[in-house]
Every structure is written in C-alpha cells, then in structure tokens.
Structure 1
Amino acid sequence: MTPICLVGIGKIATDQHVPAINASPDWDLAATVSRTGTIDGVQAFTDFDQMLAETDIPVISLCLPPVPRYAYAAKAIAAGRHVMLEKPPGATLAEVHALADMARAAGVTLFTTWHSRMAPGVAPAKAWLADKQVTGVQITWKEDVRRWHPGQDWVFAPAGMGVFDPGINALSIITEILPMPIHLQAAELLFPSNCDTPIAAQMRWTENVIAEFDWRQEGPQSWDITVQTDAGGISLHDGGSRLVIDGAPQDVGPEREYPALYDRMADLVKDGVSDVDIGPMIHVADAMALGQRVTGEAFYL
C-alpha cells in the first residue's frame, strides 16, 4: 500500500475521501494536514511545509478550497510528490496549466479529479451516445446550498464559484458523455447583492444544449441531464447514479465515485503519467465572461 497524505479535513474529506482511502487496497492514509480537523489514528499536521519536511509520503490529495490549492500543489510538486486535486482543480485556468507544466518537469503525476464522471451511469451513457446524433440536451442542477455548505462563506467569495461549485459536476458529465464539442453562446447569472459569485445561472450552448443551475432549492434535490438523439432519448438522474434509456431504467452497478478516483490515481502513479482535464472549467470561465449579470436580494448561509 502506498502512503498518502490528505490535506484539508472538512466535510468532503470526511464524507468521501477518508472512507474511499480506507477501503482501498492501494492506499494507506499516513497523515493529514488541517488547521482544525483530524482523523483518529492518523498522524496530524497543522503545517503543510512541516509535513513535507518531516515525511517522505509520496502522494498528496488536496481537498482545500480552490484559492489556496495552487500554492499547496506547487510546493508538493517541487518536493517531488504526486498530487491529486479535488474539483475544481484550481481557482483559474492559468494556474492549472502552470501546475501541469511543473508536474511534467518534475516527473510526477498530477490528477485533476472530476468525481461525477465516476458516477455509475456516466460510462454507459457515453458508450450509448457515441454513435448517435444529439439533437438537444437539458441540464437541471438545483440543490440547497445551506444543506451542502453550511457556514462555508467562501463559496460566495471571489473564486468560490457560487452555484458553479455543484454545477461544474454537471459540466464534467456533459463534457465526458457528449460525442461532439460544444461552446457557450449565452448565459444569465444571478448574483445576490451581498455575494461575489452567482447563486443561479441559465446557459445556452451550441448543439441545442441548455442548463439551469440554482443553489436555492429546498426539499428534493435535482441533478438531472436529459439528452435527445436521432435514435431515442437518454437521461441521467441523481448526479449520474441512475440511467434511463428510452424510458427503461438501466442496471449500472453500485455508486463508487470517490473509490474510483483513488483507483485511477493509483493507476496513474503506477504508469508514471498525469491526467489533467480543464474542460469543465472552461465552460465556467466562459459563463463568467459572457454571462449577463443580474443582481438579486441578499442571501445568507
């Protein structure tokens, strides 16, 4: 088993990363770095530089918010460590390009993870769509920010991404399953008057692809993608965990998004290669650049 260090012990780390690592035959959770969080039985550091200096742990998984992630990743790469990045892989496109160049020069693995691509319905949806002519796509991604990010004000700060924090999961799926490229044509972004990032967005791409993102949905949450083709329709529900083809539910197997990410990281390190994909981030950047800004009432977590 390969030792790995998990940096940023927050909700996503404890809910997803720690169970995935602990259940894997490839990884040994050897250390954590966090100002406040710890994992029972695991060596805990509060300073990243100290961890790099005092251990030779070869792989670092970064679960920090996007803004500080570049500095941590750059230090890890400079120290010869392989790096796994939570989504989104950075605060800007340029810094992810820079990290890819650093990793290449250092001869280490860099993996920009997109966990929703590992949802069990995604691969079979991609296979089914591969030889189809897509005629339209509708994306509905609506959830309750207060349920999933309680007290995490950084999501509405600059580079926090706002509704694109969950919405980029939908973008990671469509950039994986669609058999043709698309680019954004129009967007409307709703910004609360006291926030620097949007709480809702409506978007339209080429190839008749439309999306509605909203972070204010209470009750049942909506993570749905419907694709019409010249040979029938297909839809993904619950973030890609359920697949329906022409009205018939498909057996796609168990949910194991984060375990699959760590399986992939083990293969990448073994093969000495990187996997850096910024496709979903490009659509977010385009929405921010092209979108019409609408200001709404203040919103508080």
Structure 2
Amino acid sequence: MSIGIGIIGTGGISNSHVRGYQANSSLGKIVAVADIDGARAEEAASRWGVDFYTTDYREILARDDVDVVSVCTYNQAHRQPTVDALAAGKHVLCEKPMAATLDDAKAMAKAARDSGRILMIAIHSRYSPQTIAAKKIIDSGALGRVYYGETISTRRRWIGSGSFARKETAGGGAVVDIGVYSLDTALHLLGHPRPKRVSGTTCMAITKDPSAQVYGGHSWDVDRTNVEEFGAAWIRFENGLCITFKTSWAIHGNSMGRSFFLGEKGGVALGPLEYYGDQFGMMVNVIPQDLPPEEDRFVLETRDFLECVRDGRPSPIPPEQVVVTNVIMDALYRSAAADEEVEVTPWQDVL
C-alpha cells in the first residue's frame, strides 16, 4: 500500500522534505499541498506534480487518501497543524525545532500520546555517520560516566532572514535554528539526561550593525531582525553532568571549538570524530577510519518515517526526547532575560 502524503507549508524547508519523499516513492506519494498563500500553494503543487492544493490545511486532514503530513510551516505555526493532524488520525513529521515555545512542544507531545499516532521531529543530524558512530562508542561504555561536555554550532556570518528573522514567526534566532541540532546531538549521545538548572546568555550586536554585511556573508534586514545571533548556556543535569552549549549565526571568529564529551574512562570529540583513552600503558587517540559516506539526510529521515508508519513501529525521533531541547531553550531565554541561573520547568509539567 502506498502511503498518502500531505505537505503543510511550502516554504524553503518543504523542498527538502519533498526531495526525501520523492526519493522514497516506493513507500509513498504526495497527494495534497497546503499553504496560507494560495499562489505559493499552487506553484509548489505544480512543481511537485501534485493535483490538489489549498490554503486551508484542514482540507488536507479531511482527505481519506492522506495518511501522513509533513509540517513545514514557520516555527510559531508548528503546534496547531500538528495537534490537528494527530487528532485527525494522521502521522506527522514536523520540521525542527519541535516548537517555538515549551508550551507548544508540550501540547504536541500530549497530542501524540493521546492519538496513538507517530509524531517524528525532523532532526536530520541524527542521521550523520559521525553521530551514529559516536553513539556506538558512548553506548559501549568506553567513556564510563560522562561528567562534562561542550556542544557547539558556529556560523561566522549567516544571519537568518524572512521568517527566521522575527520572534513572531521563529520564536528565537540561532538557538532554535541551528543550536537545536547541537543540543539534540548531546542529549541523544548521552542517553537523554534530564536538565535541572540553566545559566544562559544571548546577544544581538552584529545583527544591528549595517557595516557587518560584508563580502562572503549572508545579507539580512538590519531593521527587521529581532532575534538573537548568539546564545550560550551552562546546563546542569540531574545525574551530575554539566554541558556548555554555544551557538551562533554571527561572531568575529572562525570557530567556537569542537563538540566533545569527557568521561571517567575516555572522551569523544566531533568534527572529526576522535576517541581519547588509555591503552597499553599509554594515552591514545583513535580516529575511526572509513565511516559510511554522508547521504542525503532528508532522504534518510523521510524513509525512516514512512517505514515506521508502514510497519507500525514507534517514532524514530519521538517528541518525548526532543521536548527536552525546548525545556533547555526555554530556560536559556528566561535566564538571559533575568540575568541569573534558573530552574528548568518541573518535569511533571512537561511529560
């Protein structure tokens, strides 16, 4: 049976979802498209070879030939289509971040539990060969108890534009855009520990400097942009682990360093993947050789999603895991606003 697919939102990221679905055409077919802009919906449907398009996503949810939907709207509009789709009995692949706010993410996770349908969050970094290999190393116990790590994503000069540039549509800047990948990577590699306190900071300085739009950078609307270009946090977890988180759209520097994780028996660094430990009475560095080649991660994640729908398996990237990124981001923003360390939202109010 071919799985019927609906696309909600035809902005830039929808093209990556569609590329993934089209590469997995043996599993499913796109049968409906929705966007609040009718002209964009019509153009996208024509480009993707889809007959049905609409400005009201609820018309997609009412169709019997739609089994799953991809939610590709801007961040602040992730919640309602996702909740409505799950209530209508559809499985959902929602683009990252899970939601613009913690309240939205909590509502989405609850809707998935109540519906019994799959909600998968599109965190494509989970399909990186490096991440998969690092997970194998850490799960083997080679690091022992991990007590400290740093998780980092750096852009030197690529400030978001369009819906990415406004809190009203994006919910945040670099933290929710690219920082969510490095946060999820750390949580995923370390078995999803629960955070308890966060001390965070954000900055919007280069963004407001017109002279910073230099050769080699990405242009943006200086007057319109109202989200952070930089975010950092010190995160304490219930198991004693501490993680430093850093992310940027714009800095005066080439890099803020590599992501790494330190344990009592060994350590791992990413970019490139490297293991550190003691063997043969010596300190050793191990660099894995011939990792699988990087594949199109959107093809991999849509395949995983469709196969789980077909086989009745649980979500490959479930909301109960990804909501923790929203817990941390919420605390980071509250801490930055208060200029002090804050407690995360109590877990009984999250899950």
Global fold match (TM > 0.5): yes
Conservation of the 8 A alpha-carbon contact between 1:108 and 1:272: no
Amino acid at match of 1:263: R
Amino acid at match of 2:327: I
Instruction: Show the 5 A alignment for 1:10-89.
Output: 10-14=11-15, 16-24=16-24, 25-34=26-35, 35=37, 36=40, 38=44, 39-47=47-55, 48-53=57-62, 56-89=65-98
| Inter-CA distance 209–65: structure 2 relative to 1 (3 Å threshold) | same
The runs of 5 or more residues in structure 2 that have no matched partner are: 209-222, 276-284, 340-351
How large is the RMSD of aligned CA atoms in angstroms?
A: 2.9
CA distance in structure 2 between the partners assigned to 1:285 and 1:118 by the alignment: 26
The runs of 5 or more residues in structure 1 that have no matched partner are: 295-301
| Inter-CA distance 135–28: structure 2 relative to 1 (3 Å threshold) | same
Give the SS at the match of 1:30.
strand
* TM-score, reference length from structure 1: 0.82
Conservation of the 8 A alpha-carbon contact between 1:140 and 1:211: yes
Aligned residue for 1:291?
336
| Inter-CA distance 125–279: structure 2 relative to 1 (3 Å threshold) | same
Conservation of the 8 A alpha-carbon contact between 2:233 and 2:245: yes
Instruction: Show the 5 A alignment for 1:235-246.
Output: 235-237=269-271, 242-245=272-275, 246=285
Q: Does 2:162 align with 1:152?
A: yes
Aligned residue for 1:228?
262
Deviation at 1:76, TM superposition (A): 1.8
Amino acid at match of 1:11: G
CA distance in structure 2 between the partners assigned to 1:8 and 1:224 by the alignment: 34
Aligned residue for 2:174?
163
Aligned residue for 1:259?
299
Q: Does 2:232 align with 1:202?
A: yes
| Inter-CA distance 176–199: structure 2 relative to 1 (3 Å threshold) | same
Structure of greater Rg: 2
* TM-score, reference length from structure 2: 0.72
Q: What percent identity do the matched residue pairs reach?
A: 22
Count of matched residue pairs: 287
Conservation of the 8 A alpha-carbon contact between 1:129 and 1:179: no
CA distance in structure 1 between the partners assigned to 2:115 and 2:266 by the alignment: 48
| Inter-CA distance 208–81: structure 2 relative to 1 (3 Å threshold) | closer
1:211 corresponds, among 245, 267, 278, to 245
User: Alpha-carbon deviations, 1:36-72, whole Å to 9, x = none?
Assistant: 1503312352412333345631110111111112121
Amino acid at match of 2:53: F
